[in-house]
């Protein structure tokens, strides 16, 4: 590794690949892209060339040793690569080297100068900076003198390098070797291996950078996709734990649920697990999150692994969640795919790509348990872990639903995901007294104080409501039992009120009787007082009279002088 620190690189324009290699393929050097038949070598090479000519002002030459140029042009036309136009604009040249071994005899010494001359002509014609040799190993079946061929190939690669041409050489995968003819011996700068594997009848394309001299690169296998957007590598392994942390709370769309969490909802960028048995309302709650996000003007993606888009939209309308306007505004995207459509890696890769493209603030995966059938638990867990990490590091809230098969005391998820999750809403559907009632319990909400109550969960055309807990004599009750209990309580209350009323009336009667008695006594008292007053006045009159009488008597006895 004695290369200069900043090895010049040429962008391939292949989504993900340029990130993975920190800039593309080594400039001015040959790189090998090897793999078995049908794994996308030619498409890789074509993409590299077309992007160079079209986007990076680096004209290119496509040397085909197998397919006819017309076929190659037709094959990539569906990906939006207009090679004909690039050829007309002299940004691209096609050179078809076809050798029919049947009409060829080798007698004596020869070289491949004709190939060099043709290449040189094509390169000079467009001023090429990029060259693709697809698939040069075909020469090995055309010529019998392997010694000459190997010497010439070595010369060719050196020649391309001397001219500073960034070259992609495609090669067929050999048995136990990277390339059938050991071409990697001649090209030591960059070797990329493409692979196409079928496991459990699900195919996955993977790419690995076997060698990239002088640069840091990921050594993992990365899934890649070939679809209508062309060739894209999905670097899913390169995710760290540098999550963004938010203080902001987001509404779930269920006011009562938010109220159960101190602060008014889950934190933004939380991973929320909604687990429950069949029919517990997991998807409805998830859709509620979706609806609430869109109502805030945020974008959201709903990855559905069981239901189709129209079905979800129709079903959610029945609980008062109209997703249609948000779909029309482009705030919501539904992506439905059966778990068995792709391998786990591919699912993850596709989800990551869709998320990167759509840039949502909320992502729903419904349900993650669907993957359990398509992979072994460790792989599923690793895939979901990467999804969770990715969403968190992007500041995206994740809602994951999980179908539980039992609702006993053991609430651990099959995929062992609980520890990854910041929030865990448990939804039960319990049979009591001949009916099933939905219950919701907030098992976990990291970083927030939250209610410990089991709440009854009711869905109707008004949306989703959580009824306050009703504690009967035998603990919390729901459904009809709850209503019976409530009625019983109401009857008891009425009874008590009636009793109180009766008592009040009786007491009032007694009170009034007492008041009447008091009145009578007061009248008697007044009588006595009047009697008393008249007695007193009679006495006063008597006293006055007596005094008068005494005075009269004294006056009459004045003759005998003074008396003492």
Q: Which of 38, 80, 114, 468 binds other proteins (CB under 8 A)?
A: 114
Q: Which of 15, 18, 95, 298 binds other proteins (CB under 8 A)?
A: 95
- By CB under 8 A, which span of 102-110, 230-238, 370-378, 522-530 interacts with other proteins? 102-110
Which among 327, 352, 355 has a CA at the least distance from the CA of 342?
Answer: 352
Structural contact between residues 312 and 346, judged by C-beta atoms closer than 8 angstroms: no
Tracing tokens 């995929």 back to the chain, one arrives at 415
Q: Which of 50, 53, 97, 165 binds other proteins (CB under 8 A)?
A: 97
Is residue 90 close enough to count as binding other proteins by CB under 8 A?
Answer: no
> For residues 157 and 342, which CB has a smaller minimum distance to other proteins in the complex?
157
> For residues 139 and 225, which CB has a smaller minimum distance to other proteins in the complex?
139
Structural contact between residues 3 and 213, judged by C-beta atoms closer than 8 angstroms: yes
Compute the least distance from the CB of residue 124 to other proteins, in Å.
9
Q: Which of 121, 245, 526, 532 binds other proteins (CB under 8 A)?
A: 121
Is residue 527 close enough to count as binding other proteins by CB under 8 A?
Answer: no
Q: Which of 3, 22, 70, 98 binds other proteins (CB under 8 A)?
A: 98
Compute the least distance from the CB of residue 164 to other proteins, in Å.
21
Q: Which of 56, 143, 358, 436 binds other proteins (CB under 8 A)?
A: 143
Structural contact between residues 113 and 76, judged by C-beta atoms closer than 8 angstroms: no
Question: For residues 293 and 306, what is the distance between their CA atoms, to the nearest angstrom?
Answer: 22
3-state SS assignment for residue 523: helix
Which among 145, 144, 143, 169 has a CA at the least distance from the CA of 156?
Answer: 169
- By CB under 8 A, which span of 117-125, 398-406, 456-464, 510-518 interacts with other proteins? 117-125
Q: Which of 103, 175, 410, 560 binds other proteins (CB under 8 A)?
A: 103
Q: Which of 107, 278, 328, 553 binds other proteins (CB under 8 A)?
A: 107
Residues 50-89, one symbol each (x = binds other proteins by CB under 8 A, - = not), give ----------------------------------------
Compute the least distance from the CB of residue 119 to other proteins, in Å.
10
Total residues at the site for other proteins (CB under 8 A)?
A: 24
Residues 240-259, one symbol each (x = binds other proteins by CB under 8 A, - = not), give --------------------
- Torsion, CA 224, CA 227, CA 231, CA 233, rounded to 10: -30
Neighbours of 83 (CB within 10 A): 24
Compute the least distance from the CB of residue 111 to other proteins, in Å.
6
> For residues 65 and 289, which CB has a smaller minimum distance to other proteins in the complex?
65
> For residues 102 and 515, which CB has a smaller minimum distance to other proteins in the complex?
102
Tokens, residue 133? 């040799």
- By CB under 8 A, which span of 103-111, 211-219, 421-429, 465-473 interacts with other proteins? 103-111
Tracing tokens 């129709």 back to the chain, one arrives at 314
Which among 255, 258, 331, 272 has a CA at the least distance from the CA of 297?
Answer: 331
Q: Which of 1, 2, 37, 109 binds other proteins (CB under 8 A)?
A: 109
> For residues 88 and 551, which CB has a smaller minimum distance to other proteins in the complex?
88
In sequence order, what are the beta bridge partners of 362?
Answer: 300, 397
Question: For residues 86 and 314, what is the distance between their CA atoms, to the nearest angstrom?
Answer: 47
Q: Which of 71, 90, 120, 549 binds other proteins (CB under 8 A)?
A: 120
CA angle 248, 253, 258 (to 5 degrees): 55
Q: Which of 53, 112, 192, 384 binds other proteins (CB under 8 A)?
A: 112
Question: For residues 494 and 488, what is the distance between their CA atoms, to the nearest angstrom?
Answer: 10
> For residues 141 and 244, which CB has a smaller minimum distance to other proteins in the complex?
141
> For residues 106 and 539, which CB has a smaller minimum distance to other proteins in the complex?
106
Question: For residues 210 and 33, what is the distance between their CA atoms, to the nearest angstrom?
Answer: 10
- By CB under 8 A, which span of 108-116, 181-189, 319-327, 395-403 interacts with other proteins? 108-116
CA angle 223, 4, 19 (to 5 degrees): 25
3-state SS assignment for residue 559: helix
Question: For residues 276 and 152, what is the distance between their CA atoms, to the nearest angstrom?
Answer: 67
Q: Which of 3, 74, 77, 104 binds other proteins (CB under 8 A)?
A: 104
Is residue 431 close enough to count as binding other proteins by CB under 8 A?
Answer: no
Tokens, residue 131? 């060259």
> For residues 63 and 293, which CB has a smaller minimum distance to other proteins in the complex?
63
- By CB under 8 A, which span of 71-79, 114-122, 321-329, 425-433 interacts with other proteins? 114-122
Using alpha carbons, list the distances in angstroms from residue 81 to 73, 86, 132, 230, 462: 8, 9, 16, 9, 51
> For residues 114 and 164, which CB has a smaller minimum distance to other proteins in the complex?
114
Q: Which of 55, 71, 90, 111 binds other proteins (CB under 8 A)?
A: 111
Q: Which of 99, 372, 432, 443 binds other proteins (CB under 8 A)?
A: 99
Residue 234: φ, ψ to 5°: -120, 95
Q: Output Rg (C-alpha) for the chain, integer angstroms.
A: 47
Which among 246, 187, 194 has a CA at the least distance from the CA of 38?
Answer: 194
> For residues 181 and 288, which CB has a smaller minimum distance to other proteins in the complex?
181
Side-chain half-sphere CA neighbours of 463 within 13 A: 17
Q: CB burial class (10 A; 0-12, 13-18, 19+) of residue 141?
A: exposed
Is residue 117 close enough to count as binding other proteins by CB under 8 A?
Answer: yes
Is residue 110 close enough to count as binding other proteins by CB under 8 A?
Answer: yes
Neighbours of 256 (CB within 10 A): 17
Residues that bind other proteins (CB under 8 A): 95, 97-99, 103-115, 117-118, 120-121, 139, 142-143
């Amino acid at each position: 590794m004695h290369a200069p620190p900043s090895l010049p690189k040429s962008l391939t324009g292949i989504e993900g690949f340029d990130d993975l290699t920190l800039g593309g393929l080594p400039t001015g050097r040959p790189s090998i892209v090897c793999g078995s038949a049908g794994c996308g070598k030619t498409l890789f090479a074509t993409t590299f060339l077309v992007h160079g000519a079209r986007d990076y002002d680096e004209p290119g030459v496509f040397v085909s040793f197998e397919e006819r140029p017309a076929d190659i042009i037709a094959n990539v036309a569906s990906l939006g690569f207009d090679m004909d136009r690039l050829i007309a604009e002299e940004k691209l040249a096609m050179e078809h080297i076809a050798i029919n071994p049947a009409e060829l005899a080798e007698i004596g010494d020869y070289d491949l100068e004709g190939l060099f001359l043709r290449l040189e002509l094509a390169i000079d014609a467009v001023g090429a900076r990029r060259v693709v040799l697809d698939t040069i190993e075909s020469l090995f079946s055309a010529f019998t003198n392997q010694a000459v061929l190997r010497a010439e190939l070595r010369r060719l690669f050196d020649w391309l390098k001397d001219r500073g041409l960034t070259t992609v050489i495609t090669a067929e995968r050999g048995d136990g070797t990277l390339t059938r003819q050991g071409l990697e011996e001649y090209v030591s700068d960059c070797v990329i291996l493409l692979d196409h594997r079928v496991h459990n009848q699900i195919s996955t394309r993977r790419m690995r950078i076997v060698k990239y001299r002088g640069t840091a690169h990921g050594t993992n296998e990365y899934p890649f996709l070939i679809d209508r957007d062309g060739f894209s590598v999905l670097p899913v392994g390169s995710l760290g734990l540098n999550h963004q942390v938010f203080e902001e709370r987001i509404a779930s769309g269920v006011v009562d649920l938010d109220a159960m969490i101190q602060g008014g909802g889950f934190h933004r960028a939380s991973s929320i697990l909604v687990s429950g048995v069949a029919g517990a309302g997991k998807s409805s709650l998830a859709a509620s999150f979706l609806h609430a996000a869109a109502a805030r003007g945020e974008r959201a993606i709903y990855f559905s692994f069981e239901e189709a888009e129209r079905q979800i939209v129709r079903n959610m309308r029945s609980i008062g969640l109209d997703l249609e306007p948000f779909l029309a505004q482009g705030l919501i995207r539904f992506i439905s795919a059966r778990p068995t459509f792709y391998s786990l890696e591919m699912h993850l890769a596709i989800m990551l790509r869709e998320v990167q493209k759509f840039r949502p603030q909320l992502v729903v995966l419904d349900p993650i348990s669907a993957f359990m059938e398509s992979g072994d638990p460790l792989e599923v867990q690793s895939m979901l872990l990467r999804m969770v990490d990715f969403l968190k590091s992007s500041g995206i809230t994740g809602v994951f639903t999980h179908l539980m098969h039992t609702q006993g005391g053991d609430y651990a998820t099959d995929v062992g995901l609980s520890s990854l999750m910041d929030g865990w809403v448990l939804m039960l559907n319990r049979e009591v007294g001949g009916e099933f009632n939905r219950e919701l319990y907030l098992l976990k909400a990291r970083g927030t104080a939250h209610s410990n109550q089991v709440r009854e969960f009711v869905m109707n055309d008004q949306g989703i409501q959580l009824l306050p807990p009703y504690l009967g004599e035998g603990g919390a009750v729901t459904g009809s039992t709850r209503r019976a209990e409530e009625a019983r309580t109401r009857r008891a209350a009425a009874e008590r009120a009636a009793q109180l009323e009766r008592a009040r009336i009786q007491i009032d009667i007694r009170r009034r009787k007492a008041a009447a008695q008091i009145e009578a006594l007061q009248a008697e008292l007044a009588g006595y007082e009047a009697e008393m007053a008249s007695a007193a006045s009679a006495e006063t009159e008597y006293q006055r009279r007596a005094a008068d009488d005494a005075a009269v008597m004294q006056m009459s006895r004045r003759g005998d002088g003074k008396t003492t």
